[in-house]
Structure 1
Amino acid sequence: MNRPKPINVLSRQVYNQIAAGEVVERPASVVKELFENAVDAGASTITVSIANGGLDEIFVQDDGCGIEKEDLPRAFMSHATSKITDANDLLGIKTLGFRGEALASIASVSETRIASKTIDEEIGYVLTSSGGELSEITESPCMEGTAVTVSKLFFNTPARLKFLKTARSEESEVTNLIARLILANSTVAVKYYVDDKLELESFGDGLKDAVRAIYGVEALDNCYEISYDKNGILLEGFLGNINYYKGNRTYQTAIVNGRWVVDQTISSAAQNAYAPYLMKRQYPFYILKIDVDPEVVDVNVHPRKTEIRFQDNGVIYAVVKTVISRVLDGTEEAMNIIVNRPRASIVPTVSDDKPISEVEIKGKPYETFSYDRFRTPYEKSSESEYYSPIFEKKEESLQAKEPDYSAGYDVKPPKKLKTDVAQYVQEITDFTDEGALKSESLDDIFRKNKEYIEKCEREKQSYEQITEEVDKPFRIVGQALNTFLILECGDEIIMIDQHAAHERILFDKFCLRLKTNTVAKQRLLFPYAFKANALEADMITDMKNLFEDVGIDILPVGDGVFNVCSLPVELIDIDYDVFFRDILTDATFKDEKMPGVLREKIIQKACKSAIKSGDKLSEMEINSLVDQLKNNRQLKCPHG
């Protein structure tokens, strides 16, 4: 009989390292926690610097209120915080941090140094920690505020260290995070350095300037600036017009009460509102700031504080979807929501002598807006706005901060397509599976192997029969309806769609060149340049060899800009913007020789170049087409 094991009380160092597993996943997690502390300290200027992707050093300095000398040791203690005092404060959290475990967790898995000075002190003080072990407090001249240096991250937890990505990938994660933090805290001046090089800078002049600093003027020119404030819900931000879509979700930012969040309710509402206007692999661009009473939002869901719960998700979904739909649909109600219109979108033009309802909207016809599509029990009968009493604003106004952090990829890579060889191996494996051997008799195994061999023989005979039929002499009867080729083969009549046949021939020729690495390239007279964010740039760099294999030469220029110098001759006249936007969201590019985006473009090119239905072919053209099809009569058009 097993004896019970004693229950041990873990040391502070051990449980801090356990907590660090949830709070500190990678360098970006450290930057996020330190940045949020700086914002909560009332900083107007924050400087962030990383070295070697944050693996060697992370430095965050602010000009906030600072930390008093006697509080420095408490800053490294678990569940010690200046943000809340009792459980009642959790019902209406107005700060970004509140759990009191981030700094203790960071210090337990790194070497950490804090230098701080308050306005009332003549000199600053420094306290260091190595793996959670504190040094003595020493005096140090420093500016008012706090500077935190974190180095040798995970030096004492090698198991965690080996799960980190490359320095370049970690740098991309931090850069993407800083971009979101700048958008989140648009009234705070931010400088961000990578290996001593200034990478991003915002001057704290508001959200519009923050958007310009991160995405450039192009984003502002293609976005609606919106503001909606009713029934205790304030919704502000920027919505990309229907033509300003992106290839992935990293250009989507949702902020609730000054906190960047990953919330399915907001994401689904926005995606569904854009759905009538976007096609496959197209994602809307938006920055949404939502302010509600803190008491109707639970932010104490996860230690990373990026997940929240609304007291009533239905109201939030309805407001977000309806506001975006009104703006995109161009309804009369949109006039009360839109602050500034995009310069490059299709919008109604209002004249002085016509009401908005009579203005002609040119371009894609809009679906007639009907509020009944969204009507829910939360709606007041007296006005056509969503309403719930729990969202009514309290007398005490909420001073919401800006959002936080960067949206991660939530796109799951598709399963790798099986080749014929993979299917064959899988079928053999099915018969030699260890579990099957244990549960089936030897006779059953031999029987199944015999059935499999017989199946292979039947397939072989079928293939030989098809080959014999293909090699049979045939006679060209002619062309029907200028669309179908009619062939006589023995006692059979074969009809071939001339367009589909030629399209298949052209497509197979490219596939053969791709397989044999003989893709014909065309060098561009003027390189095509496009800009990618940090995560996209990292992906493109990793895929450089894959691009070259399919005939695409891409060179990095700097600051996330890439030059496309050459393309396969089949793709010379495509829309480059759409093609590379699609590539950035095509997960199959890493896993397949013929990625989905490239396959679609080649099929489109083959379709446009192929003989069309209705084309009258000469006898020589028919003979040439049939000769090329001799071994392909069993195949289909690449479109299926």
Structure 2
Amino acid sequence: MADIIQLLPDHVANQIAAGEVVQRPASVVKELLENAIDAGASKIKLIIKDAGKTLIQVIDDGKGMSVTDARLSFERHATSKIRSAEDLFQLDTKGFRGEALASIAAIAHVELKTKQEGDDVGTSIVIEGSEVRDQEVIVTPKGTSVSVKNLFFNIPARRNFLKSNAVELRHVIDEFHRVALAHCNISFTMYNNGSESFNLPVGNYRQRIVNIFGNKTNEKLVPVEEDTEVLKISGFVGKPEYAKKTRGEQYFFVNNRFIKSAYLNHAIASAFDGLLKNGTHASYFLNLTVDPQTIDINIHPTKTEIKFDDEHTLYALLRSAVKHSLGQFNIAPVLDFERDSSLDTPYNFNKKSTSAPAIEVDKSFNPFQDEGRTNTGTSTKSVSFKKEPAANWESLYVGLESKSNSEPQDFSEVHFESEESTASMFDDDNSVEQVQTTYQLHSKYIVSTIKSGMLVIDQHRAHQRVLYEDFLKNMTIKEAVSQQLLFPLQLHFSVQEIQILNQLKEDLEHTGFVFSNVLKESIEITGVPISVPESEVSIILEQLISDVENEVPDAHFSATDLLAKSMAKSLAIKTGQSLQKDEQEHLVNKLFACKEPNVSPTNKTTFITMSVDELDKKFI
């Protein structure tokens, strides 16, 4: 029988490895930025076109490569980071497996330009699908430039699985943020489709956070510092009042490498226990420094997960450090029953000398002297305590005698002041006796009777369907009614969030929002839709931005549809909200007036029916 096991060709093995290393354009961005950092660069420039599908270029001013190194860098398992297996336990660099460039070259058109300091000329290599097409000597600045064009050009199936440009760009920006936050000593610049998106100069950690997420972030940060033999913690956590509904601004860095850890995230959540509203998540930007021998960073292909030797100790230290910072900066309440804030010494009395208080007493004061006499004494500051007689006090009792002699008053015509009646949400017809046709169950379901049996409606999903179709109709016919605000509402967002709102501005205006001013890090709203309370505006926009970033629920829906779904989800009646009888009936009538009452905007069942026969079977 013939042998059936054979070695895979190199180009096939590279494409299989690329499936692990390169999942989307953001994966290429991560690998190229980390290579630039390992090369000792002080300035790194990232250029993106079409969310990385057309071009990803990283230019650095690092040490560059020789001709041999440039050619060898595209071979599998070729690396300058390790020499023996023991080096894996002392890693202080980013890349070390030597698969990144080989994997990228297997599925894209790659052009490498590099030159070492001291060399007169550099090297240019062009690779397409793991095959070297051209290699020549060129004139280029010191450092390395890697251009990755037409990603997945030879794997159309992988390219079809990519999301829209907005979603892929969001992932690219996330990777850029993670690398930039971990290295404040390096200057980063990012260009998207020819325009500058980020320009991050060298600075401290707080300045880097503010440059990325906006000036408003500065007042939200609480510093965290702790240094022990096992772990060194530095960074910032966000104040509880600025907590968000999404987990966007949560960053852990271990030895300057971004990681994801649900276990350590729980430690932060535990430190904020009792300080956050339900459904909100605190922001944090924390750097953890540990001994490289106590961690394993090679357990995941993207190296975003790390295995610690002693996770329990790290959990306890992290939780205590965050809790200590919240208490130290008076973010968390302090239990101190003996402290009285009124006894605190003001700052301006810090260097003043103490002196006995001066008390002046009028020794000639006599309260039993006659009213008409003026108190005179030796004191220069004598005070007259003359008592003024009450004038016309008799007038207070005029008419009482005549009223007492008159006939007793008839109290049958006394009118009592009643509370002002508030207009009901729906018109009530008191002339017709109303019969209860709907009932609310556990403030979650509306139960109604039908001819064949019983109807049970999920009030939250049903209201979502009603609002969704209303918003979609308003945006389509562009005739939404707006409610003008007495005072303009100013909201602050990050630079990338403002860009998302700019894309949605026209659709938002069709729903009833009125924007008077849109700046780089803030927006001003002067009108909102009639159904939107002013207090809910920031929540709605935050939820909308989150949905657009993650493109919920699907990439094939239009921006208008996505906007209508997001607003309906934010404004719909919540589970646990009690409804009046007329509100219940109104919701039921509005639901069955919809085009698709059976499902919510996210394709979940809005109601179920149970016939009398099905109820009868329950009692058999």
Aligned AA (1:595): A
Gap runs ≥5 in structure 2: 343-417, 423-427, 448-459, 475-479, 554-561, 590-620
2:193 equivalent to 1:212: no
Question: In the aligned structure 1, how far is the partner of 2:262 from the partner of 2:233?
Answer: 17
Question: In the aligned structure 2, how far is the partner of 1:592 from the partner of 1:36?
Answer: 38
Secondary structure of the residue aligned to 1:302 is coil
Offset of 1:548 from its aligned partner? 6.8
Distance 1:114 1:574, change over 3 A: same
Structure 1 residue aligned with 2:14, among 9, 16, 27?
16
Structure with greater proportional helix content: 1
Question: In the aligned structure 2, how far is the partner of 1:11 from the partner of 1:555?
Answer: 61
Distance 1:357 1:182, change over 3 A: farther
Structure 1 residue aligned with 2:305, among 304, 307, 319?
307
**Does the aligned pair in 2 maintain the 1:42–1:64 contact within 8 Å?**
yes
Superposition pairs for residues 225-240 of structure 1, below 5 Å?
225-240=223-238
Q: Which residue of 2 aligns with 1:82?
A: 80
- Between 1:81-90 and 1:316-325, the stretch displaced more is 316-325
Distance 1:536 1:280, change over 3 A: farther
2:597 equivalent to 1:599: no
Aligned AA (1:184): A
Q: Which residue of 1 aligns with 2:285?
A: 287
2:17 equivalent to 1:36: no
Distance 1:509 1:75, change over 3 A: closer
**Does the aligned pair in 2 maintain the 1:263–1:307 contact within 8 Å?**
yes
Distance 1:228 1:520, change over 3 A: same
Offset of 1:306 from its aligned partner? 1.0
- Work out which of the two has the higher radius of gyration on C-alpha atoms and give 1 or 2: 2
Distance 1:181 1:61, change over 3 A: same
**Does the aligned pair in 2 maintain the 1:547–1:554 contact within 8 Å?**
no
Secondary structure of the residue aligned to 1:248 is coil
2:581 equivalent to 1:581: no
**Does the aligned pair in 2 maintain the 1:265–1:316 contact within 8 Å?**
no
Superposition pairs for residues 232-251 of structure 1, below 5 Å?
232-251=230-249
Offset of 1:601 from its aligned partner? 8.2
Superposition pairs for residues 401-412 of structure 1, below 5 Å?
none
Structure 1 residue aligned with 2:319, among 309, 318, 321?
321
Secondary structure of the residue aligned to 2:541 is helix
Offset of 1:176 from its aligned partner? 2.4
- 1:35-85: CA deviation from partner (whole Å, max 9, x where unpaired): 000101111111111111111111101111111111111100000000001
- 1:604-629: CA deviation from partner (whole Å, max 9, x where unpaired): 8x99xx9xxxxxxxxxxxxxxx9x68
Aligned AA (2:207): D
Distance 1:219 1:357, change over 3 A: farther
Superposition pairs for residues 240-639 of structure 1, below 5 Å?
240-328=238-326, 330=327, 334=328, 346=331, 358=339, 515=469, 517=473, 520-524=481-485, 528=489, 530=491, 532=493, 551-552=512-513, 557=518, 564=525, 566-584=527-545, 595-600=568-573
Q: Which residue of 2 aligns with 1:374?
A: none
- Which structure's relative contact order is higher, taking Cα pairs within 8 Å and 6+ residues apart? 1
Question: In the aligned structure 1, how far is the partner of 2:55 from the partner of 2:587?
Answer: 63
Question: In the aligned structure 2, how far is the partner of 1:252 from the partner of 1:183?
Answer: 12
Aligned AA (1:249): R
- 1:459-505: CA deviation from partner (whole Å, max 9, x where unpaired): xxxxxxxxxxxxxxxxxxxx9xx99x9x9999x999999xx9xxx9x
Distance 1:246 1:119, change over 3 A: same
Structure 2 residue aligned with 1:152, among 150, 153, 165?
150
Secondary structure of the residue aligned to 1:235 is strand
Secondary structure of the residue aligned to 1:65 is coil
Question: In the aligned structure 1, how far is the partner of 2:240 from the partner of 2:89?
Answer: 39
Q: Which residue of 1 aligns with 2:100?
A: 102
Offset of 1:118 from its aligned partner? 1.0
Q: Which residue of 2 aligns with 1:396?
A: none
Distance 1:596 1:125, change over 3 A: same
- 1:208-257: CA deviation from partner (whole Å, max 9, x where unpaired): 22112111222121111221101231100011111121231111111000
Secondary structure of the residue aligned to 1:30 is helix
**Does the aligned pair in 2 maintain the 1:255–1:290 contact within 8 Å?**
yes
Offset of 1:167 from its aligned partner? 2.3
Question: In the aligned structure 1, how far is the partner of 2:464 from the partner of 2:53?
Answer: 44
**Does the aligned pair in 1 maintain the 2:53–2:151 contact within 8 Å?**
yes
Aligned AA (2:570): V
**Does the aligned pair in 1 maintain the 2:464–2:572 contact within 8 Å?**
no
Secondary structure of the residue aligned to 1:90 is helix
Q: Which residue of 2 aligns with 1:6?
A: 4
Offset of 1:135 from its aligned partner? 3.6
**Does the aligned pair in 2 maintain the 1:175–1:534 contact within 8 Å?**
no
TM-score (norm 1): 0.64
2:68 equivalent to 1:70: yes
- 1:156-199: CA deviation from partner (whole Å, max 9, x where unpaired): 11111111122232222212221222111111011111112111
Structure 1 residue aligned with 2:199, among 201, 206, 210?
201
2:109 equivalent to 1:114: no
Q: Which residue of 2 aligns with 1:181?
A: 179
Offset of 1:550 from its aligned partner? 5.9
Aligned AA (1:210): R
Question: In the aligned structure 2, how far is the partner of 1:197 from the partner of 1:122?
Answer: 32
Aligned AA (1:302): H
**Does the aligned pair in 1 maintain the 2:540–2:567 contact within 8 Å?**
no
Q: Which residue of 2 aligns with 1:447?
A: none
Aligned AA (1:268): H
Offset of 1:579 from its aligned partner? 4.3
Secondary structure of the residue aligned to 1:79 is coil
- Between 1:213-222 and 1:529-538, the stretch displaced more is 529-538
